[in-house]
Amino acid sequence: MKRCYAGSIIGIDLDNTLICYDELFVTLAIANGIVPANYTGRKRDIRDRIRSLPNGDVDWQRLQAQAYGPAISGAVLAPGALEFIRAARQQAAAVVIVSHKTPFSNLGSETVNLQDTAREWLHGQRVLAPDAVLEQNLYFEPTRDAKIARVAQLGCTHFIDDLEEVFDDAAFPVGVERMLFEPPPQRSPRAYRSYRSFAEIAYEFAD
């Protein structure tokens, strides 16, 4: 069944949904000697590899702090995301970004504000713009619980996220259509659909 842009309030997650880090994490992992120079895996592969090592969770958080902070310029916008957002706005939908992101990482720089670097990146990609997402429609929340509460408070009709944990949380509002951004989708049984690209999501809203 086709969705309708008009009157919708479309919420979008930030990290690993709008912002793609796969190539950046490979670059950082190579630079840190975690993987060989010819490594071709994705971010999830690198995460699993690091977490399998002694002290892996801490090392993974340190790498994330680099990617989300001083190295974020190496990340790329998800293909088709800006076109999807602009089309939604042109057809009378509201678009909001709701991200679980604290100002600083416990294992990163004490001077690099992760919210500020993300905001600057979004401006540079023209995602924060009058014809895309309005500045006041960008929300950073300190916890997943706060993020879910914000989705409910904003009255989102749809929410796009890469994390099943968000959609499976008992507190996630029942009336919001859950759209899992999962390139490539795993296709495991779920109560909601997964999408491999923003072009595929846009097709769901096409006339």
Q: Beta partners for 10?
A: 95, 158
Domains of the chain: 9-20+77-205 (3.40.50.1000), 22-73 (no CATH)
Average pLDDT in the 86-91 region?
Answer: 96
Question: Do 181 and 162 contact (CB within 8 A), yes or no?
Answer: yes
What value does the mean pLDDT take over residues 77-82? 98
- Mean of the pLDDT values across residues 156-174? 96
Averaged pLDDT, 46-65:
88
pLDDT digits (tens, 9 = 90+) for 179-195: 999 877 666 667 889 99
Q: To the nearest whole number, what is the mean pLDDT of the chain?
A: 91
State how far the Cα of 98 lies from the Cα of 139, in Å rounded to an integer.
5
**pLDDT over 60 at 32, yes or no:** yes
Is omega for the bond preceding 70 within 30 degrees of 0, making it cis? no
In angstroms, the CA 194 to CA 184 distance is 9
Q: Which residues on adjacent β-strands are paired with residue 159? A: 11, 178
Taking 80 as the threshold, does the pLDDT of residue 166 lie above it? yes
Report the phi/psi class of residue 55: left, alpha or beta, with left for phi > 0 and alpha for psi in -120 to 50.
Answer: left
Amino acid in the structure at residue 28: L
Across the range 25-30, mean pLDDT stands at 92
**Mean predicted confidence (pLDDT) in 35-63:** 87
Residue type, 68: Y
Between 43-51 and 22-31, two packed helices, what is the crossing angle to 10 degrees? 40
41 pLDDT tier (thresholds 50, 70, 90): confident
